[in-house]
Structure 1
């Protein structure tokens, strides 16, 4: 399969070169080199150079379109089910079932994608997931028995990990260019934050302005349309693992690869931060009589993470990812103390939103660094599976964090509940500091 080529000097050039008094964009391709040598205008930034890779804009547009519904489906299902069945307990149980099914099915879907190619597996898997969403919509609309809601939503577990597939394409296109890959991973993390920031807002707006099923219907359409566009970009698709390895070659599964178990444990603990923060913030806003402001406050946290992710990707780290991870997690833990202090102090929602904006700025660098290490420690040809295992760890942590945050808010107080994300981040920090086997060999 043809692959874009880049002009390189004997030593790989970084995306950014820091000098004593300026920050200069480094060369990234022959056209950028010619423009820089000619002195014609300001050199393009790292993200413009990243999206100048042939085919990058097309697969990114498709992937972002397919990824936006990931922030819509759960909220849409809760609004749709609770609005028609008058039961938040049923809505929560249905979405929890879908989350559990995804945790079981997603790694198998990713393994098939690695083995047979993105287009051959991701599109049929998406069709099954879209049919599951439409079945859920029809069951709710026509008053079907409750058990049908669980079955229909469980079928959506075949939804491919769109973010993982996009990261796999960047890893294929930017092979050997660590600086460019760092920028790509930061871009993808910022995209994740943006989609999970805009998705719930769009879902609630559609369900409220049109009809309860509108969020699910639009989400299913965007998922299918985006995946059709993404999988149509065959020139940037990584070759299947079967084509890259000889028959009979046995590999260590990603779950057992050296250094992977502690990384997945970090993902689990970080997911606990996300899950507990969401529930506790909703409870805190509701306790102060401003339940409708919870979405805006959580959006501030996602906005801080998105901005920090883009900034983090614009500079070239001076230390290896393994050495950076404890510092990133330590910063996340320290900044998460700020919302806890704000909630326990004045109880001001404005102050809480400001502290969540600051706290969010540490989550993206943590996730970018974690995902970079996951990529490096995943066996060759199994990248989608490795990335999906990391996402599965995050989902499991979100579920546990939601339960712990909800318990704290009910039995202690909403303000005390902010201790749960701090505790989860502290657990992640301890894991990164433990001298676990295989961590030294994988920088």
Structure 2
């Protein structure tokens, strides 16, 4: 099953930027839990940790597309290096404020100021899209690989952050995450031979609307961003509801293993999905993926409401996880087909920001349900959010079709 993926790395420089990007993304998956443990230990408040994290998530969702716009205009390396060096300052200031007992508002300001993190996952996909622009089947394989790497980071990052914060020092998680993130991003930026060239400006006489304007003027991006926002709600609600459910049964330590099963299901599905030859337009495949995700999320809902126990819930979560990777892989492929090359990084960052906002909203809704309803009732939220994503995709399906004739064909569009 892994043999097709080895073909990708036969191309010079691909292994280097993939490993560097993986290092940077691992650090991002460590920061959430590391921040919570740090503030809970040093300030004794989970509520403070939640509000500081939420502020950072909101500013990150705003800042990521702005960084993406700069990347499209000036190139990956020219933007990534100063952004990484800048982000050292607010992280250092946060740790200093925590250490010196500064007022709580300073923590919010410091964490909000660190919103200039470059989207390494999006930039890696942009490199694959450039390298494989004439090979849609190989691009499908590369997007599947990137999704699997994302899932691996979200499986291992929180565990690594928790171990460092509890076994070494409360600050160790964020310090390590900052170091790994800076090293990974700088190494990624150093891989210049695989960096996509800056797209040409529009030719004289061509209209500047649509493909040459802001990415959100592309209707398909608006549809996908809303669908991704609903998918983010699935992720956020599923995580928090699972922790609350395990806690209600007196087995809170098992929650980490249950969440790992969701990511494991997604990893397996992503690896298998990448080896399958895509059939039909990406828009139609995306609709099928969202429909499958919505159907599979009924399994943990049934297990939670039926009191099936942790073993059956774990099996249901693993099965539900298999629906997420194919949906995300196809969604990212569709983005690469719909977006013009000169707006690819900004457009992908907008979509990822939608996921981040959705995660925050899903967590908040699931937390409210966990406080006022039975332990399994929270699984209505991810099931409902997946159904909403399906309705959005169905309503906007005509915008998910790539024009057959396009004078400036976008990166990755099928021939």
Q: Contact 1:257–1:379 (CA<8 Å) still a contact in 2? A: no
Alignment of 1:343-358 (within 5 A): 343-358=304-319
Alpha-carbon distance between aligned partners in 1 of 2:56 and 2:284, rounded to the nearest angstrom: 36
Confirm whether residue 309 of structure 1 aligns to residue 267 of structure 2. Answer: no
Structure 1 match to 2:83: 125
Partner residue of 2:348 out of 376, 387, 406: 387
Q: Contact 1:253–1:379 (CA<8 Å) still a contact in 2? A: no
Q: Would the alpha carbon gap of residues 441 and 376 (structure 1) be closer, same or farther in structure 2, given more than 3 Å must change?
A: closer
Alignment of 1:183-194 (within 5 A): 183-194=141-152
Structure 1 SS opposite 2:341 = coil
Q: Would the alpha carbon gap of residues 162 and 435 (structure 1) be closer, same or farther in structure 2, given more than 3 Å must change?
A: closer
- Deviation for aligned residue 1:247: 8.4
- Deviation for aligned residue 1:436: 4.9
Specify every segment of 5 or more residues in structure 1 that has no aligned partner in the other structure, as ranges. Answer: 1-24, 26-43
Alpha-carbon distance between aligned partners in 2 of 1:386 and 1:96, rounded to the nearest angstrom: 23
Structure 1 match to 2:173: 215
Q: Would the alpha carbon gap of residues 238 and 441 (structure 1) be closer, same or farther in structure 2, given more than 3 Å must change?
A: closer
- Deviation for aligned residue 1:438: 2.9
Q: Contact 1:258–1:437 (CA<8 Å) still a contact in 2? A: no
Alpha-carbon distance between aligned partners in 1 of 2:139 and 2:186, rounded to the nearest angstrom: 25
Confirm whether residue 376 of structure 1 aligns to residue 334 of structure 2. Answer: no
Structure 1 match to 2:117: 159
Structure 2 match to 1:174: 132
Alignment of 1:241-320 (within 5 A): 241=199, 243=200, 245=202, 250=208, 251-320=212-281
Alpha-carbon distance between aligned partners in 2 of 1:335 and 1:118, rounded to the nearest angstrom: 38
Confirm whether residue 336 of structure 1 aligns to residue 297 of structure 2. Answer: yes
Alpha-carbon distance between aligned partners in 2 of 1:139 and 1:347, rounded to the nearest angstrom: 46
Confirm whether residue 200 of structure 1 aligns to residue 200 of structure 2. Answer: no
Confirm whether residue 45 of structure 1 aligns to residue 11 of structure 2. Answer: no
Alignment of 1:399-414 (within 5 A): 399-414=360-375
Structure 2 match to 1:70: 28
Q: Would the alpha carbon gap of residues 62 and 244 (structure 1) be closer, same or farther in structure 2, given more than 3 Å must change?
A: farther
Alpha-carbon distance between aligned partners in 1 of 2:371 and 2:294, rounded to the nearest angstrom: 24
Structure 2 match to 1:427: 388
Specify every segment of 5 or more residues in structure 2 that has no aligned partner in the other structure, as ranges. Answer: 404-413
- Deviation for aligned residue 1:129: 1.9
Structure 2 SS opposite 1:318 = coil
Q: Contact 2:35–2:49 (CA<8 Å) still a contact in 1? A: yes
Structure 1 SS opposite 2:133 = coil
Return the structure number with greater helix share: 2
Structure 2 SS opposite 1:381 = helix
Alpha-carbon distance between aligned partners in 2 of 1:436 and 1:327, rounded to the nearest angstrom: 11
Structure 2 match to 1:88: 46
Structure 1 match to 2:411: none
Considering Cα pairs closer than 8 Å and 6+ residues apart, tell me whether 1 or 2 has the greater RCO.
2
Structure number, greater radius of gyration: 1
Structure 2 SS opposite 1:113 = helix
- Deviation for aligned residue 1:414: 2.1
Q: How many residues align?
A: 400
CA RMSD of the aligned region, Å? Answer: 1.7
- Deviation for aligned residue 1:351: 1.6
Structure 1 SS opposite 2:12 = coil
- Deviation for aligned residue 1:205: 0.6
Q: Contact 1:47–1:183 (CA<8 Å) still a contact in 2? A: yes
Per-residue deviation, residues 256-277 of structure 1 (Å, max 9, x unmatched):
1132211111101100100110
Structure 1 match to 2:13: 55
Structure 1 match to 2:407: none
Query: TM-score, normalized by length of structure 2?
Result: 0.93
Confirm whether residue 135 of structure 1 aligns to residue 96 of structure 2. Answer: no
Alpha-carbon distance between aligned partners in 2 of 1:435 and 1:111, rounded to the nearest angstrom: 25
